[in-house]
Structure formats: structure tokens, C-alpha cells
Amino acid sequence: MNYKTEEKKDRFPIFLFALFFLFYAGQAIYNTYVNLYLSSVGLSETQIGITVSVSTIGILCAQLFWGLVSDRTKTKNSVLQLLYVAVAIIALLFYLNSSFVFLAAAVTLFSIFFHPLMPLQDNFALEYLEDKRWDYGQVRMGGTIGYCLTVLIIGFFLQNNYRPIFCMVAVFMTICRFICIKLPKIEGFRTKENKSSYWELFRNKPLIGLILFNLSFSIGLNFYHNFYAIYFTSDAVGGNSSLVGVMMFASSVSEIPMLLVIHRITEKIGIKKTLIMAGSVTALRWLLLFFLKTPALIVPVNLLHGIGYTSFSYCIITYIGKTVPKDMRATGQTLNVLIGNVVSRVLFGLVGGFISEYMGADKMMLFSSILIAAGTAIFVIWSGKIKEFSDGASLR
């Protein structure tokens, strides 16, 4: 036995952990504060909704494209490095102009390169950890720690001045690029000799069912991240940038205990029951955000995020990693994000912005609660008819 090789395989992947830490630190800054920046330079909530919807058209085109490229490329590292550099450069473009048209174009261009990074990193991590004892959740926890620390610290640092966020994002993405160079090379598996049919993805009924369930889940989550912070800082609630940071910190820090135990939870009760738990808790979270109007009560409600979001995303990401052929795993991850997250942005970016401006974001939270509750109920009925969910054997 080669003990040095075994010891190397057993060593915690600190560079991969650091990559997640820094990427999600950058995501925390951009996702939490970009719409507050757009609002601060004069864009209405309807204009922000239009920007979200228009940028999503770019994501629709880019998401599957980068998944296909990652599966076909010589090394998946090179695709990640290209995207990190592109995101860093595009982030700095926001300083050039503050008109509605320019900012809509900048958000769209940023999204084309930024959003594909999330599923591609997940796929990269699953491939990297395949022959190691470390679970995806343990490494992904680096992203959660990076997110929660950054969103809390930056919230107090900004003091309602959101202009510095783009420089910060550029710095974090540049560091990610150099960390990626240090990681072992992960090859693309899709070659002329090893080529599965893409129809296999669409013939996988459990996978398509999970992705559609993800659509009902993501609508509320996307609205929360795009518009709730604006409502939270309005006179109706009375929050500020510091309290936004605290609220997002509560959400993200709640992921840490779940990431430590989610593998054991799914092993014990299976993916089906874990997803039902996640959907039910998320419906409760949105319902409470509809009723509550004071920051002191709203902030702790977001501790439910860990049970809902972490459980949901872990189940789908690991299911794809276990059941989809190797040469289509990056495509499978991006397909999930495309249908679940991107389509929800297209459908409810403009609608959500309009409702938020003229009816109030709290009404949209009530709608989101009803939607995920209905989606969970439908999943319970549908999954009972699918063999893989009935016996749970292939989903543990």
C-alpha cells in the first residue's frame, strides 16, 4: 500500500474549501446589495424587475452553454478560471455609468458569466471528491461561512453607501481564479468515444420531477433576494443596510449546522422526506415574513433558511452527482439551475417588481408561501407513484 498516496487522498481539500469561501463571499456582496445599489441611484422597483428579467434572458442562453463547454473541455478548471476573470472585469464596468439602460446591460453581462459558476463549481467539487472520504456538504460549508461572515461585516461597513461593492466582487473573483490554478485538474468526460444521449436527462423522471419542484421553491427565494431587502429598508419595516447584513447573516449561518448533518439526515430518512421537510419549512418562513413587520422579529425567522434551502439544494445536487452519467453531470447541474432558478427569474422578475412596487413585497411573500406549499403537496402525491421515491433505495 502506498501510504503517501492514501494520506494525500485523506487530506481535507483546503483549496477547494477556500474557493467556495471566497466565491460565496463575493456572491453575498453582489446578490444582497446590487438591487439596493440600483435603487440608490434612482431605479424604481419596476425598472429593477425589468433588469432582473432582461438579465435572465442572457442567463438562459449562457447557462446550458457553459455546462456543455465544461463537459466537453479538456479540463473543467480552465472554464472556471475564464469565468472568474470575466466576472472580475465586468464588475468594474458598473462604475462607468448609472443610467437605467447601461445598468440593465451591465447586470445582464455580469449574470451571463456569474450565474453559471455556481452549478459548475458544484459539479467540479463532486468530481473532485468522488474518491475521497470528504462529503460535498463539508466542503460546501466554506461557501456558507464566507457568505455569512461577509454579508454581516459588509453590511456594517457600507453604511447605506453601496458603490464599493463592485470593486470588492472583482477582488474576490480574481483571488478565486488563482486558487483554481492550485486545484487538481478535473477532465471533461464527454468525448467522441464516451458520449451519452442528452435525452437521458429528460427521460430521468425523478430528476425532472425534482427540477420542477425546484421551480416552485426558487420563485420565492429569488423574490426574497431581489426585492425583500428593499422592502425591509423601507418605512414599512424600518431596516437599514446594517440590519440587512444581520438578516442575511442569520440566513446563511443557519446553513452551517445543516451542512454538518444533512448527509446523515438523508441517509436516515431519504431524499423524499428531506425535500418535504424543506418545502414545508420554507412555506412557513415566507408566511411569517408576510405577517411580521418589525426587524427584531423578521431577522430570527430567517434562521429557517438552513433547514429549507440547504436541505433542498443538497438533495438535488447530490442526486444529480450520483445518477447522471459522468459526461453530462455539468450539463445536468446547469439544467437544474436553468429550469429551477433562471425560469423563475424570467417569470417573476418583472411581475415581482411590479407587485412589490404597487402592492408591497409582503403580498409577494404570501404568494410564495402558498406556491411552495402547493408544490410540496404535489410532490408528495407525485413521488408516491415513482418507484425511486417509493422504495428510496437509489436516493440514499
Quick: pLDDT tens for 35-88.
Answer: 889 988 888 878 887 887 778 777 777 776 777 777 777 788 888 999 999 999
Burial of 131 (C-beta count, 10 Å sphere; 0-12/13-18/19+): exposed
Top-tier CATH class for 14-188+200-395:
mainly alpha
Instruction: Kindly state the average pLDDT of the residues 22-31.
Output: 92
Q: Using CA atoms, how far apart are residues 17 and 32, in angstroms rounded to an integer?
A: 22
Quick: pLDDT tens for 91-102.
Answer: 999 999 989 999
Task: Determine the pLDDT at residue 319.
Answer: 83
| Residue 173 pLDDT exceeds 80 | yes
Higher pLDDT, 386 or 198: 386
Task: Determine the pLDDT at residue 390.
Answer: 54
Instruction: Kindly state the average pLDDT of the residues 138-159.
Output: 85
Give residues with Cβ within 8 angstroms of 291, minimum separation 6.
Answer: none
Burial of 330 (C-beta count, 10 Å sphere; 0-12/13-18/19+): buried
Taking the mean position of all CA atoms in its chain, how far away is CA 292?
25
Residue extents of the structural domains in the chain: 14-188+200-395
Quick: pLDDT tens for 235-263.
Answer: 888 888 788 888 888 888 898 899 889 88
Asked whether the whole model's pTM tops 0.85, one would answer no
HEC per residue, the chain:
CCHHHHHHHHCCCHHHHHHHHHHHHHHHHHHHHHHHHHHHCCCCHHHHHHHHHHHHHHHHHHHHHHHHHHHHCCEHHHHHHHHHHHHHHHHHHCCCCCCHHHHHHHHHHHHHHHCCHHHHHHHHHHHHCCCCCCCHHHHHHHHHHHHHHHHHHHHHHHCCCCCCHHHHHHHHHHHHHHHHHHCCCCECCCCCCCCCCCHHHHHCHHHHHHHHHHHHHHHHHHHHHHHHHHHHCCCCCCCCHHHHHHHHHHHHHCHHHHHHHHHHHHHHHHHHHHHHHHHHHHHHHHHHHHHCCCHHHHHHHHHHHHHHHHHHHHHHHHHHHHHCCHHHHHHHHHHHHHHHHHHHHHHHHHHHHHHHHHCCHHHHHHHHHHHHHHHHHHHHHHHCCCHHHHHCHHHC
Quick: pLDDT tens for 311-368.
Answer: 998 988 888 877 777 767 667 777 777 776 666 666 665 666 667 667 777 788 898 8
Task: Determine the pLDDT at residue 392.
Answer: 47
The number of C-alpha atoms within 13 Å of 333 and in the hemisphere containing its C-beta is 29
